[in-house]
Structure formats: structure tokens, C-alpha cells
């Protein structure tokens, strides 16, 4: 059986690859999938061949730690979300503390580097000898701290490349900054010995400092954005009731939820959460089942009806018998589904990491070949001392110009600008991977309630058969409904309140169970209810007269006297005004739109037709939504899921992109990668356009970052020296590296001016 375990110490996607490759080779481990995104591993192993402690020992030498839970949660089956969040907060605090020291050092280094470049061109006067000497001895101290404290993860990346042959961005950063530091340290420490061979005043401490600090800043921002990854599980756990009011030996006893057993009789009072799944044995009430169906209108439940853990009793006390407890409940199943979907691997690996895996070995080979060539061929022409000088200059220049400052900034700068632009547009993006994947989406699944519709019942129509004006009719109905506990009553009374209709006094109010209600206003007895009530009053009114409206999913409330039917008011979950235009715009982008809803099929089809949705599935449960997403993914579709309820959480987590409405539940928002503020579905189109623009900018940045290398590396290697006497000084290599970074950042900033 697959179980999920947290793994600490991962810094990038290749970390997950290293752990996974190691464990797959281990006897007894039958299945393993490691996710960098959730910093976790799904494991299935044979207890007879290997124990969890053995797996923990296998992971430790690689530089990571497998977190073995002391106590497994009955519901979640893993380390609690609060423990994980505490660890992430500690890690974030540690990163912030290091950056508080590193950023001022990096700023100082940049200023020195710029001043030296300007002085090379004679634009400013050269530094005095005393100032230059002071900086010359200060920079090694700064660089040592930055490399060995702030840059420790990147040094480990270099080590893993040497140990496992897996290269990524950490490897490039570790390699480039280590070589720059080591060369600089040697010429500083052995200045007297090396001065005849190399210019010992030229060092690259600034490259080490600036590259590591800015990449570390990007990592800090990434960690901060990922902090809430586990909050979806925490929010789901908070939906559970903590205790249950159980009948034991004829007495009401409040017990912790984990002590509830099958067959217990549980009393549920108005406003209480239902603690476990079960069947009503006494009483009746309206229950808010948005957790399961996503529908905003509470459902009437009578004896024999099933109730679900986490749903809320709205108005009357009832008793039910527990049939499913602990990990058997529907809520526990939803939690498990979210965990598994969040822990599954994203199909897209970062483009820069793919390039790096090829780029690092090539740069290393070129650098060493260049040094060897200068020593072997140059010694005959220039003598060993001069050849060594040229060789070292070329060797360091190659590694400095290939140092991945621009490459490292290519993706994060575009992502940071893209995410910032999204926030201004009301599109909150959780992480870079989400923004990256969104541009390739070809199918978007939407929930109905709260996504296509407003998510609450409203008065949407009135058929007036009397001589009274519409406002009079609604004021009369609102007066009656004000005394009702039925969920639909809220829509009528709210409409009357918003339109400031005169309040009327009701006498002799009475609920007619299952049919409606009645009451006297100014001496006239009025009735409000359904078709059954009209039949009981023997009034000439049939369902055919309102068939068109009911087919559209509208709920009728009929107002009558003992002699006549006065009017029918229609209540429904109204379509958001921007939904129709949003679906049209998505179609223009070549994206198919499907609606999944827990509502009845007739209502769903009517709304889908009005909005222009391609396909609709109704009366589905959370598991059905999850299965449908998996089905589309198995067919090769790149799927985005937009929803706002707890029942959407598993599908949101499983989809390639989860999109939550900002007006929805915390669980939906925390599970999703993107949140649309104010629940505005039109922002969906803007989010897709933003993703396409951002990825285009990333690719442009990577292109320009490599153009500098394509031109600079041959120049640094001395290919043009025999013909033109050109040899790239490490000083200009540093300048080219800095300029490439400026061009990449400038290109990213252009995103701010583009219209979505």
C-alpha cells in the first residue's frame, strides 16, 4: 500500500531524481515516486525485505532526510500539516536571516564592480591604491561567507554532479562560483608567487557574491510562495467536528471524534457539524452539503436519509446512527485524494535544468581543453610562463562568462514579473511551475456553483397572474417567507430588502410540512409553496404552466389565496454576467470547456447551453470529478480545473492546473495553483494569456543568455587570438556576464507593459 512521507533537504527537481533512482535500485522497494513540488515521496515496500528505518538510512548519505511520523494521523495517514508548516517556516526564517547579511554585501560588490568597469573605460578616475588594497583584502572575507554559508546548497549541487552525474541549475551555480572563488583565493593568497604569471589584482570574488545572492533571493521567494502547499490538508482536517454528542446508556455524552464507533446514536443540533457518516433515525432538518455537492442550497433530510461527515445542520435537531467512522468517511477519502494528487509528479521539468544537464559538461570540457591547448601549443610560441598566463586567463574567462547569472535569471525574472502582473489583474499564482504549465492547457473543466454561477440562490423571475403590481406580490411573499426556515426563503427576503419593499405584518403563521406555509396579512389568508400545496387547495394550476422555467433549473414558489393563484416567483443560482464572454474567449484560444457539477442534470444542461459550454456531466461526486480529470489526462489532454468548493479539492489537486475562485472555500484556494480574486471567471482568459506571454519571455531570455555564451566562450578560449590577437580578459568576461543579466532583466520587465 502506497504511503506518503515528507523528505527534507531537497533543493531542485534533480534532488527528487537522485532519491528516486537510488530507492528504485533497492531490493524490497516495489514502488517509489518522489515529488520536489510537495517535498514528499510515495513509497510502497515489502516489510519482509526492508524496513522504513533502512530506507531512512539510504537517503541520509545523499544529503536528505526521510521524515518518519511518530504517530500516523487516523485520517491523513501521514505527518500532520502543522508539523510540516512549522519546518517550512523555520527554513524560510533561516533563508531570510542569511539574505539580510548577503544583500548588503552583494550591493557593495556590484557598486565596486561597476566602478572598476567604468574606470577601465576612463569614465571615472581609478581608485586610490589604499582603497583598492583595502577592497582587495575585504572581498575574500565577504566571498567566503557567501559561498560557504549562503551558497552551501549550490556547493552540494556541484558535489552531486561529481558523485551522481546529474546536473542542474544548482550545479552550474556551484561550479561557476567555486572556480571564480578558488582562482581568486589562490591569486590573493599566493600573490607573490603568481604575480610573474598572472595579474593578481584581477579577482572574481564579486562574481561569486552577486550570483549566489541573487539566485538565493529567487529561492527564498520560491520557498515563501510554496509555504501554503500543505494548507489544503490542514484546512480539510479543520472541516471535521472535533467531538460528537453520543447517546450512551440513555444519556447524552460528548466524546472525541476518534471514540465514535459503528452503531453509535449521535445527536446533531442546529449549526453543528456532522462528525461521521451515518443514517438519520429520528427527526428532520435541512443540511448544507456544499462539501459534497458544491450546491449552495441546503437539502432537506428525513428519517432514512444518509448524512456525511463535515456537512452542516442548518435548522433542526435530529439523531442519526454512525455507519462510517475514522478513515472510512467521505471527508477522509477527500483528504486522501488531495494528498495523493499533490504528491504526484508534475510532467514538466524546468527548461533551464534540461539545458544545464548538457551545458555543464560541455563548458567543463571546453575550459580544460583550452587550458591544455594553451600549455601544449602556446609553450612553443610564447614560452611556458606566458602560455600559462594565457591559459589561466582563458580558463577562468570561459567559466566566468559561462557562469549562469543570465541563465539563472532567465526564468525567475520573467516569472516574478509575470506573477506580479497577474496579482495586479486579480490573478494570484502560487508558483512558477503553475504559470509555466498553464500556457499548454487545452481543456478546462469548470464547476457550476460559484464558478459559472454566483453560488447563492437569487430571485431571478416572476410570473404575475393578478392585478397587483410585482413589488406588492414580492412584498407579500417576503413577509410570509421571513418567518420560514427554508433556504429558498432567504432569496425572496433578500430581494425585498435590497429593493426596500414595504414590510407587512403576518398573523397566524403556519408551516405546512413538505408543501409550504400560510399566514394572514391585512385579514387575507395567503399560501406560499409548491405544486402539491396548490393541488391540496384544489386551485387550477399545474406543473405544465411553469415547465419551461423548471427545465432551466429554476425553483418555483407559488403565491396564492384560498381562491386564486396570484403569482409564481422563481429562485435559482444566477449565472455570472461575465461567464458567457469568458467561455467564448476560451474557445478562441482553442480550449475546450467542460462543466462538472453535483447539481441535477436538467439544471446543468440548461446552464451549459446558455453559457456555451461544450460538454456537461451532472450529479457527480468528488471521486467522479477526480476520475474524469484522470481520464482526460490519460488521453493526453493538459487539463485545468476551475472550482470553488471542498468537493472540488481532489480534482483541483489532480489537474495539471488547479484554478480556484477567490470567493470559494479555503480548501479549494489552498489546493489550487491559481486563485481568481472576486470569483471573476473572465480572469481565466487573462491567466492563460499571461502564461503564454511569460513563457515566450522565458524562451527569449534563455536565447539571449546563450547568445552571449556562443559568442563569448570561443572568444574567451582564444580561437580568434592567432588571427586578430583577440583574447577575452576575465574583466570583460565579467562585464559580458553582467550585461547579459541586464538584458535578460530588461526583457522580462517588458511584460509589465503588455495587455492581457
Which positions are catalytic? 447
- Shortest CA distance to 434 belongs to which of 229, 202, 279, 595? 229
Q: Which of these, 1, 90, 2, 84, lies nearest to 39 by C-alpha position? A: 84
CB atoms within 10 A of CB 615: 12
Whether 407 contacts 352, CB under 8 Å: yes
Q: Which residues of 703-741 are buried (b: 16+ CB within 10 A; e: fewer)?
A: ebbbebbeebbbbbbbeebeeeeebbebbbbbbbbbebb
Contact 201, 188 (CB under 8 A): no
Sheet of 3-8, strands arranged across = 29-35, 40-45, 3-8, 65-66
- One-character DSSP codes across 609-658: HHHT-SEEE-S--HHHHHHHHHHHHHTT--EEEEE-SGGGHHHHHHSSEE
C-alpha to C-alpha distance for 440 and 625, rounded to whole angstroms: 21
Distance of CA 617 to the CA centre of its chain: 26
Q: The C-alpha cell of 266 is what?
A: 449521535
The CA distance from 512 to 269, in Å, is: 22
CA separation for the pair 233, 230 (Å, rounded)? 6
3-state secondary structure of 520: strand
Provide the pairing of β-strand 615-617 with 565-575: unpaired
Residue 172 and residue 353: Cα distance in Å, rounded?
Answer: 10
List Cα–Cα distances, 616 to 231, 441, 605, 606, in angstroms. 31, 19, 7, 10
Rounded Cα distance, 185 and 191, in Å: 9
3-state secondary structure 256-290: EHHHCCCCCEEEECCCCECCCEEEEEECCEEEECH
Would you list the DSSP string of 7-70? EE---SHHHHHHHHHHHHTSTTEEEEEEETTTTEEEEEE-TTT--HHHHHHHHGGGT-EE---S
Give 425: exposed, middle or buried? Use CB within 10 Å, 0-12, 13-18, 19+: middle
Q: What is the C-alpha separation between 242 and 262, in angstroms, rounded?
A: 17
* Residue of 317, 278, 612, 576 lying closest to 449 (CA atoms): 576
Amino acid at each position: 500500500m502506497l504511503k506518503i512521507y515528507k523528505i527534507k533537504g531537497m533543493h531542485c527537481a534533480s534532488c527528487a531524481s537522485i532519491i528516486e533512482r537510488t530507492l528504485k535500485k533497492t531490493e524490497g522497494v516495489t514502488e517509489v515516486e518522489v515529488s520536489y513540488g510537495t517535498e514528499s515521496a510515495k513509497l510502497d515496500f515489502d516489510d519482509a525485505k526492508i524496513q522504513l528505518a533502512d530506507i531512512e538510512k539510504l537517503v541520509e548519505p545523499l544529503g536528505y532526510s526521510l521524515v518518519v511520523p511518530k504517530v500516523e494521523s487516523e485520517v491523513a495517514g501521514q505527518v500532520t500539516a502543522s508539523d510540516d508548516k512549522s519546518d517550512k517556516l523555520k527554513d524560510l526564517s533561516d533563508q531570510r536571516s542569511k539574505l539580510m547579511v548577503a544583500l548588503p554585501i552583494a550591493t557593495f560588490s556590484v557598486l565596486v564592480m561597476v566602478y572598476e568597469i567604468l574606470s577601465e573605460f576612463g569614465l571615472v578616475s581609478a581608485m586610490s591604491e589604499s582603497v583598492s588594497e583595502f577592497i582587495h583584502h575585504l572581498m575574500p572575507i565577504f566571498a567566503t561567507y557567501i559561498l560557504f554559508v549562503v551558497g552551501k546548497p549550490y556547493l552540494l549541487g556541484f558535489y552531486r554532479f561529481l558523485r551522481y552525474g546529474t546536473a542542474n541549475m544548482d550545479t552550474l551555480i556551484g561550479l561557476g562560483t567555486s572556480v571564480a572563488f578558488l582562482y581568486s583565493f589562490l591569486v590573493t593568497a599566493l600573490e607573490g608567487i603568481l604575480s610573474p604569471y598572472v595579474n593578481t589584482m584581477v579577482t572574481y570574488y564579486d562574481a561569486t557574491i552577486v550570483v549566489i545572492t541573487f539566485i538565493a533571493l529567487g529561492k527564498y521567494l520560491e520557498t515563501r510562495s510554496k509555504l501554503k502547499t500543505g494548507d489544503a490538508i490542514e484546512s480539510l482536517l479543520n472541516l471535521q467536528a472535533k467531538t460528537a454528542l453520543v447517546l450512551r446508556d440513555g444519556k447524552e455524552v460528548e466524546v472525541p471524534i476518534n471514540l465514535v464507533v459503528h452503531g453509535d446514536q449521535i445527536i446533531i443540533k442546529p449549526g453543528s457539524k456532522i462528525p461521521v457518516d451515518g443514517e438519520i433515525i429520528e427527526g428532520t432538518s435541512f443540511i448544507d452539503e456544499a462539501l459534497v455537492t458544491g450546491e449552495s442550497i441546503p437539502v432537506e433530510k428525513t428519517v432514512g436519509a444518509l448524512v456525511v461527515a463535515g456537512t452542516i445542520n442548518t435548522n433542526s435537531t435530529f439523531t442519526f446512527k454512525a455507519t462510517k467512522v475514522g478513515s472510512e468517511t467521505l471527508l477522509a477519502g477527500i483528504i486522501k485524494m488531495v494528498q495523493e494528487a499533490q504528491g504526484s509528479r508534475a510532467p514538466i521539468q524546468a527548461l533551464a535544468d534540461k539545458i544545464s544537464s548538457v551545458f555543464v559538461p560541455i563548458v567543463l570540457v571546453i575550459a580544460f581543453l583550452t587550458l591544455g591547448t594553451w600549455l601544449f601549443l602556446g609553450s612553443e610560441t610564447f614560452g611556458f610562463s606566458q602560455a600559462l598566463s594565457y591559459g589561466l586567463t582563458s580558463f577562468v574567462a570561459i567559466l566566468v562568462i559561462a557562469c549562469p547569472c543570465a541563465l539563472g535569471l532567465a526564468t525567475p525574472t520573467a516569472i516574478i514579473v509575470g506573477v506580479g502582473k497577474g496579482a495586479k489583474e486579480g490573478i494570484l499564482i502560487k508558483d512558477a511551475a503553475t504559470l509555466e504549465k498553464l500556457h499548454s492547457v487545452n481543456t478546462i473543466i469548470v464547476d457550476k456553483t460559484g464558478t459559472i454561477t454566483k453560488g447563492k440562490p437569487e430571485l431571478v423571475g416572476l410570473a404575475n397572474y393578478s392585478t397587483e403590481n410585482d413589488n406588492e406580490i414580492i412584498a407579500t411573499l417576503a413577509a410570509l417567507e421571513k418567518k420560514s426556515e427554508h433556504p429558498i426563503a432567504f432569496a425572496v427576503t433578500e430581494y425585498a430588502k435590497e429593493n426596500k419593499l414595504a414590510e407587512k405584518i403576518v398573523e397566524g403563521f403556519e408551516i405546512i410540512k413538505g408543501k409550504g406555509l400560510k399566514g394572514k396579512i391585512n385579514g387575507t389568508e395567503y399560501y406560499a409553496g409548491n405544486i402539491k400545496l396548490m393541488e391540496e387547495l384544489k386551485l387550477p394550476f399545474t406543473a405544465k404552466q411553469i415547465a419551461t422555467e423548471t427545465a432551466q433549473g429554476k425553483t418555483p414558489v407559488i403565491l396564492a389565496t384560498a381562491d386564486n393563484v396570484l403569482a409564481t416567483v422563481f429562485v435559482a443560482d444566477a449565472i455570472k454576467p461575465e461567464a458567457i464572454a469568458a467561455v467564448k474567449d476560451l474557445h478562441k484560444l482553442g480550449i475546450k470547456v467542460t462543466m462538472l457539477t453535483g447539481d441535477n442534470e436538467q439544471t446543468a444542461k440548461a446552464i451549459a447551453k446558455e453559457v456555451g459550454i461544450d460538454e456537461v456531466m451532472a450529479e457527480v461526486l468528488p471521486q467522479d470529478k477526480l476520475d474524469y480529470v484522470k481520464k482526460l489526462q490519460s488521453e493526453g489532454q493538459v487539463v485545468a480545473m476551475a472550482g470553488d468548493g471542498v468537493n472540488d479539492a481532489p480534482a483541483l489537486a489532480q489537474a495539471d492546473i488547479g484554478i480556484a475562485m477567490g470567493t470559494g472555500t479555503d480548501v479549494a484556494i489552498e489546493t489550487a495553483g491559481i486563485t481568481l480574486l472576486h470569483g471573476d471567471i473572465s480572469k481565466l482568459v487573462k491567466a492563460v494569456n499571461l502564461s503564454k506571454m511569460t513563457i515566450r519571455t522565458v524562451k527569449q531570455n534563455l536565447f539571449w543568455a546563450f547568445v552571449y555564451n556562443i559568442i563569448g566562450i570561443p572568444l574567451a578560449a582564444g580561437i580568434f587570438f592567432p588571427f586578430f590577437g583577440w583574447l577575452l580578459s576575465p574583466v570583460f568576461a565579467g562585464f559580458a556576464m553582467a550585461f547579459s543579466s541586464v538584458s535578460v532583466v530588461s526583457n522580462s520587465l517588458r511584460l509589465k507593459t503588455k495587455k492581457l
